[in-house]
Structure formats: C-alpha cells, structure tokens
Amino acid sequence: MIPYERTRQQTIPNSAVKIIGVGGAGANMLDRIALDGMEGAELLACNTDVRTLTSSVAPEKIQLGRNLTRGLGAGGDPALGNQAAQEAELEIRDALRDRKIIFICVGLGGGTGSGAAPLLAQLARDEGAFTVVFATTPFNFEGARRREQAENALAELSTLANALITFDNTRMGELVLAKQGVHEAFSAADRMVSESIRAVTRIVMRPGLVNIGLDDLMAALSSPKSRCLFGSGIAHGENRAQQALKNALVSPLLDRGSLLNDTDTVLVHVCGGEDMTLYELELLMRGLSKHVPETAQILFGTSVDPAMAESLSVTLVSSLPEDRLRADFSKNLSAKKAEKVKEPDAEEAEPSEEALSEETGSSEKPAELDSKDDAVADGDSALESSLGSQLDGVEEEPAADQEDAITLESADEEAKFEEVEQDIQLDAGSNIRMRVKELPHPGEPDNEERVPDEVPVLASEEVSDSGFVEAVPSLAETGQSLDLEDDDAFFAETGPAGGPAPIKVESLEEIQASAKAKRPQDELALDGGPKGKFEGEDPNLIEGEDLDIPPFLRKKK
Amino acid sequence: MGKPRIHVGLEIGTTKTVMVVAEVKPDGSVKILGLGETSSAGVRKGEIVDYPQVRACVKAALLKAEDLSDVDISSVFLAVTGPHVEGLNNRGTYRLPEGESEIRSRHVEEVKEIASDIAIPSEHVYLHSLIRHYAVDGQPHATMPTGLMGRKLDAEFHIVHGVRTRVQNSIKCAREIPLDVDDIVFAPIASAQVVLERKWKEAGALVLDIGGGTADYVLYVDGAILASGCIPVGGDHVTNDIHLVTHLPLSKAEQVKKTEGDASGDPEKSEGVVTVADEGGFPDVELKRQILNDVIRMRFQEMLELVRERLPEDGLLRIGKGVFLTGGSSQMEGLGELAQDVFGLPVYKPESPDVSGVHAYIKDPQYSTALGLIRYAQILEEERPNSTALAKASGFLRSLWPFGG
C-alpha cells in the first residue's frame, strides 16, 4: 500500500510498471516497445520457444515449460501453453511482485499466447497489479480453429484483466498502404500497441493539471465483460487540436469514432507543450462531443509536458460491452459472466442502501460513501438506476451548503473512492484547486469537466475563500478515511503542502446547465455561409471548399 | 461521299436547352438549317434534377428547331456533362504473334481493347475511348499503323467515363420525346470541334467551356486529347455570389453581372458605383463597382485555378497555341485578362456575333457545344466511311440502354 502523503500529488514510480510479452507475437511487440524506448518500465519476455526468447531484446526473460516443451514451442496447443506457464508460476510471481501496472502483450490464436496469457493475467491480478492486456487476434485466413482458440482466451482474459485492448490482425491492412511490405504492416501493428502502452502510462504516471489517475482509467473501463476502445493521436502545427483528435479517432480500435457512440464513459487525456491553450482544449472537447453520446460521462484530464514541445496528444479510452461490439459473441461466455456479475451485487446492495439512508439524514461520512461507491461501481445498471434517485439527494445537499465536496466515482472492485482534483498554478502564485465531481451512472446528465467555466470563478478568490476554509476538514477527513479504508487504492490526491486547500464545489444545477450548454450538435453543420439558390443541395465540395459559397465570402475570412 | 446528311445536336444545358439542325454536304461543308432554343428548368450544374421540366424544355426546343429547319427530327447527338464525368489516359501494348510482322486491323483492334481495359468504378460507363497515339516498336505514329511492319504495337487512349445512371437520365429524356440518340458526347469535346482548328489541336490548346452550371475543359496536345473534365461551377454561381454579397434579387444580379461586371481586376474599371434602377418606383440601389468586380473576379479566378490544378503537370507547358474560352459565361467582361493572369498563356475569346441571322450562331460562344455536336457527327462519319455512325452508336447504346433499339 502506498502511504498517504499530503505534500504532493502522487504518481506511480516508474519501477512499478512492467510490460510482459507472451509468445512469439508478444515478443515482437515487446521488441518494438524496447526499440521505441520506454522510460523506466521493465520488460519481460515469456515464451516456450527458446530460440525466439533468446533473440528478444527484453532484459528479463522467463522460459515457460522448461521440462514440458524443452525449449520448443507449444505447437499451437493452448492447453500445452497453459501447462508450460503453470510450470514457471513461481518464477512469474517473483517477477510480478510489487508492480502496480502490468501490461501483457500477446498474440492470441497460438499455443503459448492463448494458453499462458490468461494465467499470467491471473497471477498479475493476484499480485495486486492493475492489469492491461493488449491482445491481437489472428487473421481470418488462419482458419476457424485458431480463431476459436483466440476467442476462448479472449473470453478468459476479459474477466481476468482490468482492461483488455484487442486488435484484429485482419484489420492490419488499414494501417498501411496496400503496396507496403508485410514487414511494415506487422511493425505498424506492433507500433500501435507500443504507442498505446506509452499513452496509458503517460496518463497514469504523469501528474496533470487536471489529473487523471488509475481510478479514472478504471472507471472508463469498468463495465464488466467489455472490450476496450482506445485511440491515441498526436499532431502539431496549426489546427493541432482538431488534427490530434482526428488522428485519435482514426485508430482502428475505434472504428473512426463510430464505436464511441454507444459508450457510457469516455476518458480523454490531453497532453501538450507549454504553449497549449485553453481555447484549444475547448475546441478539442467540442469536437469530441460530436462522437460521444450526450449522456456519457467524460473523464477529462490534461497535463503539460515540456517534452511535447509544440505537439499535442490526445488519448481516448473507453469501453464497450462486448455484446454491443459483436452481438453474436459466444453464448456460454455471457452466461458465465452473468453469474460473475451477480455475486458482488447481491453482497453489496444491502450495505450501500444503509449507507445512503444514513447519509441523506445526517451529515455524511466519507467512509460510508466508500461502501456506497463500491456498490455503484459494479456497473450493474438495474442497481444503479435504483440508486440514482438517492444519489441525487446526496449530491444536492453539499451543493446547497457549499461546504463539503463529495466525489462519486464509478469503478470496479479494485477502484475505491477517489477524488479528482487539480492544481492550477496561476502566475500570481496563488494556489487554487479545482474539484470535479463525477456521478457514476450513465442515466444522469453527466458532469463534465468545466475548465473554461472555472476560470472566471477563480479570478474572484475572495468569494470562494470562505468556502475553501470551511472545506478543509472535510477534505482531510475524506483523504484520511480513504487511506484507512482503501487497501487497494494506489494513490490519493491530496491538497498542497500546508495551508488550507481551497475547494470549489459546483452545484448540481450548475453542472446540469453546463451539460446542457455543451450538448453536442445534432448535425455537423458545414461552416461557410449562405448559398442562395443552391441552398439545400448537396455540398459542392472540391478540395474541402464548398464551391456554392461565394469565394468572396470564403476567402475574406 | 454520297448524299448530304442531316445531323441534329442536342445540348441540355444548365441555363438553356439548344437543338441545332444542320446539313453536312458531300463536300464537307456544314449548313445550319435551324436552331431551337429554350431556357432550361430543372437542370443544376449540368445534371438533370427535375425530370418533367427538362422533358418539357427539350420538347419545346425540338418544336422550334423543327419549325425553323423544316426537318422532321428523329435522332440526335446528345451532349452530356457534369462533375461525375472524368477523363484519364491509358496505354495498351500488344505484341504481334510469332510469325506475323505486318500490322493488320485486327491487331489494332486488339491493342485498342487492351488500352480501353482500365479499371473505372463499377457504376461508371465509358463515354469515349479516344485514340491519342499509336506507336510501333516504340516509334510514335499519329495515324493508323496498319500495313506497317513491326513487332510491338502501343496505343494510348484518352478515356472519358461518367456515372451510368446520370448518363442514362439524359438519354432517357431524349428517348421519351421520342428521339433516338445517335451518340453521347462529352460537352467540351464537342465544343472543341468548333472552337479549335486542326492545326491548333496539333500545336496544343486548352478549350474552356464556361456554361451556366459547369466549367468544362479539354486539353489538346499534338492533335490528341491529353485531359478533359468538368468543374461544377459556372455563370449561375457568379450571379448567386452577387446576390448573396449585395442582396440584390437574382434577376437584378444577373443583369448587373452582364452589363456592369468586370473580371479583369483593372482598378480603373472598379471606380465609382453602379446604379440599379428599380421599376417599382422604389429608390435606386447603388452598388460599389469595387465590390461587384471583386465578387466576380474571385469566383472566376477560383474556377480557372481549379482547372489549372487539374491539368497534368506538364500540360500547360505543352500548350503551343493558347487558351480558348467559350460557353455563355465566357462573354464576361475582363475574363480574358484574368485567364491570361491565371494561365500565363495567350487567351482567345470569342467575340459576340456582329451579324444577325442563322449564321451568327456559328460565332456565338453560347452555341459552341450544340454546333460542336454537328462537327463531331461529321468527323465520326468521315472516320468511318464504311460503317455509319448510327450503327456504331446504337451498338454502343444498346450496352447502355436496356430498352428499345
């Protein structure tokens, strides 16, 4: 457990991240990651085949099935791969101990990958790490059997891992031009995985202005039995905000943004150089809102990294229940999942309601909020909706007082109650904190991050000061209770060193108003101008310009 | 060459529908017998959007043409255009079979087939496959290479294709009058037959046919087409621009464009104001010439630049003669100067006709496409003395048109 510190924002030390490549494809991805340079993270290669293992550039290597396969591959048999991994279980456990985030890169379909990856994910979770699995599924032409093996492994992994990000090899063609070599296609796929890993670590490890932590990440990925949607884009120069977003959306994992239409929670992380402007952020978020349903919760984070220089990167993380992603997904799996989901709900529904009733009556205790939050975190929609009305009550009370802040977070069992706070360092040197409340269930109009709206409020410090001072005890209480209650929480956001931590609390009405104001447009209106007699016709587009609009008006802009 | 033949050209344009009836005499001279013209309705940017209205227009033009020429019209050459029509070049190579070294017509047919075999989108249809050059063993030959000795025969084609359904719309319109369609011709190719003399085609010339809804272009180099295409911007856009910027009603905007507008960018022409009289007794509207001319110039400049960008890279360098402007909108004042600025080449602009009567049509750029259709028919006939153009055309149309024939 990481001790609670008041002095600074906590981040995960580099050494807590481990990247494991399993099987041949996993080793390739690992090599790519190593070649691209991954600061700090440890790399571990696991394989049955000793030849590929020795050629791997990973500093740490574990041979699976030393006695079972004797240095040969698993021969496409997942059962053999699994046994081989079991043989090396102790070794693997040692390697995974005390790691906070573990990335497992694997190519599914073969023996070692499909067999060993689920076991590795299990071990990683046992060791208490946040486990992200990057898996590729085989090409269509590899036949039904390999695909079936991959699907089975995928089904296991989706229950075991905190996040599962898959890439279908069949879609590799989209990454490269048709005439480019097969070598380039594969390395492009590997590069995508490596960039994804880097983006996830960037989110989690680098403290941000508006910080996003592991808790937010898990909230975005919380829906059980889900497939992770992931897109990351980087751009520089004029119009970089839009370009970066566009690059992120074209990721094959997002299907050009169309998959985002169904999601409940989207995590957006924007990282830019020191010249990143608020306006750019606003522009970007507005662009994104067209791809995301109104009701979705947007977890927004931003950080300034001087190393980004003039470029700006956008990372989108979300999850989509598998049945929405692919309706015909194997039935037995869903049955198995359903059981899994039910168990925790039954246990936690009771305490949560108790907690709620107490809270609405007396002034709330953060510790109780925790338990309530756990219940919400299961992501069971029925439970959530029943809680919804009560949650509203809780939410409004502090809003009225302008004293206390409650942050509700949706997360799965791992993620406990966390706060999202941010420091904005103004040049005047004043330390102002912003606090964002998040409501976990999708039915509610979401509480969007309101960076732009905050600014005028921040300017008038005096007004909010009284609220700030009064809020301190409750913050401290919240923070400490977090520490006491949450064994699994890796880090908690804390106030700045010494002095009162000013907290800005938004009333529910305010939030709703802002959500309404930011409602995405129904239709993407082409900018431009009047079209006179050509009004209502299809846009006459050549090279991005609508020729029906007078050039006189277009060019003058 | 036998008896004189009568050809009819039909152009369903964005602003007007024109039907020209002409007699081609055995000595090759063309005599225009009559011309029927109505203003079009239901055509936008060169394409039919309101079918019944267009049919009524064609019917009206037909009646006028028949009336004037005293000819019973049964079949027409039809001009088509629209932004969906594209031109591209392709080369086909054929190696003569072992033991044969003299090029025969079947070899030429073979190489033509190879050259025309180009991947066009499945919903598209060929409008033209025009031979550009032949080459025998790498030696270029402009004319038919039959009878020459050689091992390898190359053919370069310019292929014009467009969306099948849209082309069918035009044909259907004529068919329902009822009129047979002898052939369909991409509009600028027809215009070029009137505007360009043979030696200019050899020298290299760009024909720019700026109509009401589209600007069509065709580039001739070494006597053959190097590029062709259509940009969906025309005179209507200019009127619309004036309407949008100055808030004059469209009819007034059209009038001001024709009488007062100037595209040359000459500051002298942009001094002062234009007074637009109001018939209804309301005060006259005053309009700054500077604004009017800027609106017009920017529209035309963009249009010409779009054409320039679409030409092949070395296309402009290979133009020996210059740029020929035609089409109704080419009468715009100052357009010649603007075109010269954009292309950096000599610009030839047709003059407005100075004589009235039937012969005046020949000079009027508004009718160049319709007249070009007659020339096209004539050339087609000359090229194929054996088989009539009709037989060829109906064979082609049968592939395009499932009914009738």
Q: Which of A152, A170, A205 delimits the end of a domain?
A: A205
Residue A343 has pLDDT above 50, yes or no: no
Asked if B120 and B159 count as a contact pair (C-beta separation under 8 A), the reply is yes
- Only one residue has tokens 């913050």, namely A475
Per the prediction, chain A carries an average pLDDT of 63
Contact B298 A550 (CB under 8 A): yes
What is the β-pairing status of strands A226-236 and B322-326?
A: unpaired
Q: Is B240 on the interface with A (CB under 8 A)?
A: yes
Q: Residue B79: its pLDDT value, please?
A: 92
Report the pLDDT averaged over residues A167-188.
Answer: 69
Q: Which phi and psi angles does A141 have, rounded to 5°?
A: -75, -5
Interhelix angle A366-377/A331-361, rounded to 10 degrees, is 160
Is residue A41 located within the same domain as residue A131? yes
Interhelix angle B187-195/B368-383, rounded to 10 degrees, is 90
Asked if B88 and B166 count as a contact pair (C-beta separation under 8 A), the reply is no
Whichever domain contains A165, its CATH number is: 3.40.50.1440
Distance separating alpha carbons of residues A316 and A231, to the nearest angstrom: 5
Question: Which amino acid, residue B49?
Answer: V
Instruction: Give the other-Cβ count within 10 Å of A17's Cβ.
Output: 25
Is residue A439 located within the same domain as residue A546? no
Distance separating alpha carbons of residues A76 and A142, to the nearest angstrom: 12
Q: Residue A227 falls within a domain, yes or no?
A: no
Q: Residue B269: its pLDDT value, please?
A: 82
The dihedral region occupied by B223, where left means phi > 0, alpha psi between -120 and 50, and beta the remainder, is left
Nearest chain A alpha carbon to B299: A551
Q: The tokens of A125 are what?
A: 């979770």
* More reliable by pLDDT, B191 or A199: B191
Distance separating alpha carbons of residues A201 and A238, to the nearest angstrom: 27
pLDDT digits (tens, 9 = 90+) for A200-232: 777 776 666 676 766 777 766 665 556 667 777
Contact B233 A540 (CB under 8 A): yes
Nearest chain B alpha carbon to A554: B298
Is residue A416 located within the same domain as residue A556? no
When divided into structural domains, chain A yields a total of: 3
Task: Residue B232: list chain A partners with CB under 8 A.
Answer: 540, 542, 547
Across the interface, of B45, B244, B306, the residue whose CB is closest to A532 is: B244
% of residues, chain B, pLDDT over 70? 90
Is residue A9 located within the same domain as residue A32? yes
Computed on alpha carbons and rounded to an integer, the radius of gyration of chain B in Å comes to 22
What is the β-pairing status of strands B75-80 and B180-186?
A: parallel
Across the interface, of B231, B240, B294, the residue whose CB is closest to A532 is: B240
Q: Which of A205, A221, A240 delimits the end of a domain?
A: A205
Is residue A394 located within the same domain as residue A538? no
Distance separating alpha carbons of residues A162 and B40, to the nearest angstrom: 66
Closest CA to B49 of A541, A531, A533, A530: A533
Asked if A106 and A150 count as a contact pair (C-beta separation under 8 A), the reply is no
Task: Residue A552: list chain B partners with CB under 8 A.
Answer: 241, 245, 294-295, 298-299
Lowest mean pLDDT among A118-132, A410-424, B169-183, B320-334: A410-424
Residue A224 DSSP code: S
DSSP string, A123-147: HHHHTT-EEEEEEEEPPGGG-HHHH
**Test mutation, B43, B236, B238, B241, chain A, max A CBs within 10 A:** B241
Is residue A393 located within the same domain as residue A505? yes
Q: Which residues pair with B162 in a beta bridge?
A: B125
Measured CA to CA in angstroms, residue B29 lies from B24, B191, B380, B384 at distances of 6, 18, 15, 18
Instruction: Determine the straight-line distance between the first and last CA of chain B, rounded to whole angstroms.
Output: 27
Q: Is A557 on the interface with B (CB under 8 A)?
A: no
pLDDT digits (tens, 9 = 90+) for B79-106: 999 888 988 888 888 888 888 888 888 8
Is residue A479 located within the same domain as residue A543? no
Residue A366 has pLDDT above 60, yes or no: no
Give all domains of chain B, ordered by start, each with its CATH number. 86-160 (3.30.1490.110), 196-350 (3.30.420.40)
Q: Is B41 on the interface with A (CB under 8 A)?
A: no
Task: Residue A537: list chain B partners with CB under 8 A.
Answer: 44
Residue A44 has pLDDT above 70, yes or no: yes
Q: The tokens of B50 are what?
A: 């309101």
Question: Which amino acid, residue B405?
Answer: G
Q: Residue A232 falls within a domain, yes or no?
A: no
Q: Residue A105: its pLDDT value, please?
A: 87
Q: Residue A379 falls within a domain, yes or no?
A: yes
Surface-to-core class of residue A165, CB atoms within 10 Å of its CB (0-12 exposed, 13-18 middle, 19+ buried): buried
Is residue A79 located within the same domain as residue A115? yes
* More reliable by pLDDT, B5 or B280: B5
Is residue A17 located within the same domain as residue A163? yes
Give the range of the structural domain holding residue A186, as residue numbers without chain letter.
1-205
Strands across the sheet containing B86-95:
B139-141, B124-136, B152-163, B86-95, B224-231, B215-221, B205-210, B322-326, B347-348
Instruction: Give the other-Cβ count within 10 Å of A509's Cβ.
Output: 10
Long-range pairs for A427-433: beta carbons < 8 A, 24 or more residues apart = A430/A461, A431/A496, A431/A499, A431/A502, A432/A458, A432/A461, A432/A502, A432/A504, A433/A495, A433/A496, A433/A501, A433/A502, A433/A503, A433/A504
Q: Cis before residue B312, ω within 30 degrees of 0?
A: no
Contact B245 A553 (CB under 8 A): yes
Per the prediction, chain B carries an average pLDDT of 83
Residue A498 has pLDDT above 70, yes or no: no
Q: Residue A233 falls within a domain, yes or no?
A: no
Across the interface, of A537, A542, A550, the residue whose CB is closest to B241 is: A550
Q: How far is A549 from chain B (nearest CA, A)?
A: 7
Q: The tokens of B159 are what?
A: 């292929």
- Close Cβ partners of B176 (under 8 Å, ≥ 6 residues apart): B55
DSSP string, B301-358: HHHHHHHHHHS-TTTGGG-SSEEEEESGGGGSTTHHHHHHHHH-S-EE-PPPPSS-ST
Residue A75 DSSP code: T
Q: Residue A554 falls within a domain, yes or no?
A: yes
Distance separating alpha carbons of residues B174 and B180, to the nearest angstrom: 7
Give the confidence band of A303 by pLDDT, cuts at 50, 70, 90.
Answer: confident
Give me the residues of A, 517-546, that contact B with CB < 8 A: 529-534, 537, 540, 542-543
Q: The tokens of A507 are what?
A: 């009333």
Strands across the sheet containing B16-24:
B30-39, B16-24, B5-12, B75-80, B180-186
- Close Cβ partners of A308 (under 8 Å, ≥ 6 residues apart): A271, A272, A273
Instruction: Give the other-Cβ count within 10 Å of B386's Cβ.
Output: 5
Is residue A352 located within the same domain as residue A482? yes
Is residue A134 located within the same domain as residue A166? yes
Q: Residue A301 falls within a domain, yes or no?
A: no
Q: Residue A516: its pLDDT value, please?
A: 45
Q: Is B247 on the interface with A (CB under 8 A)?
A: no
Closest CA to A393 of A434, A350, A358: A358
pLDDT digits (tens, 9 = 90+) for A435-469: 333 334 444 444 444 444 444 444 444 434 443 43
Asked if A26 and A105 count as a contact pair (C-beta separation under 8 A), the reply is yes
Measured CA to CA in angstroms, residue A505 lies from A267, A398, A439, A454, A517 at distances of 22, 8, 14, 11, 19
Contact B298 A551 (CB under 8 A): yes
Q: Residue A21 falls within a domain, yes or no?
A: yes
Q: Which of A159, A182, A205 delimits the end of a domain?
A: A205
Closest CA to A408 of A381, A436, A435, A437: A437
Asked if A38 and A57 count as a contact pair (C-beta separation under 8 A), the reply is no
Distance separating alpha carbons of residues B231 and B329, to the nearest angstrom: 14
pLDDT digits (tens, 9 = 90+) for A523-538: 444 455 677 777 766 6
Q: How far is B1 from chain A (nearest CA, A)?
A: 47
Tell me how far apart the 2 most distant CA atoms of chain A are, in Å: 80
Across the interface, of B241, B250, B306, the residue whose CB is closest to A552 is: B241
Closest CA to B254 of B271, B234, B279: B234
Q: Residue B230: its pLDDT value, please?
A: 92
Lowest mean pLDDT among A416-425, B82-91, B342-351: A416-425
Contact A551 B301 (CB under 8 A): yes
Lowest mean pLDDT among A316-330, B122-136, B261-275: A316-330
Q: The tokens of B44 are what?
A: 């936008």
Instruction: Catalogue the E-assigned strands of B99-243.
Output: 124-136, 139-141, 152-163, 180-186, 205-210, 215-221, 224-231
Distance separating alpha carbons of residues B356 and A388, to the nearest angstrom: 84
Measured CA to CA in angstroms, residue B216 lies from A62, A135, A143, B318 at distances of 69, 53, 52, 19
Interhelix angle A89-96/A111-126, rounded to 10 degrees, is 50
Give the confidence band of A145 by pLDDT, cuts at 50, 70, 90.
Answer: confident
Q: Residue A216: its pLDDT value, please?
A: 72
- Buried b / exposed e over B104-139, threshold 16 CB at 10 Å, is eeebbebbbebbbebeeeeebbbbbbbbbbbbbeee
Across the interface, of B250, B299, B301, the residue whose CB is closest to A550 is: B299
Contact A534 B295 (CB under 8 A): no
Q: Residue A2: its pLDDT value, please?
A: 58
Asked if B23 and B4 count as a contact pair (C-beta separation under 8 A), the reply is yes
Distance separating alpha carbons of residues B215 and B324, to the nearest angstrom: 13
Q: Residue A63: its pLDDT value, please?
A: 83
Q: How far is B19 from chain A (nearest CA, A)?
A: 27
Q: How far is A542 from chain B (nearest CA, A)?
A: 9
* More reliable by pLDDT, B323 or A402: B323
Is residue A78 located within the same domain as residue A201? yes
| Alpha helices for A9-143 (secondary structure H) | 23-36, 50-55, 78-87, 89-96, 111-126
Q: How far is A530 from chain B (nearest CA, A)?
A: 7
Q: Residue A179: its pLDDT value, please?
A: 66
Residue B260 has pLDDT above 50, yes or no: yes
pLDDT digits (tens, 9 = 90+) for A327-342: 433 333 344 444 444 4
Q: Residue A455 falls within a domain, yes or no?
A: yes
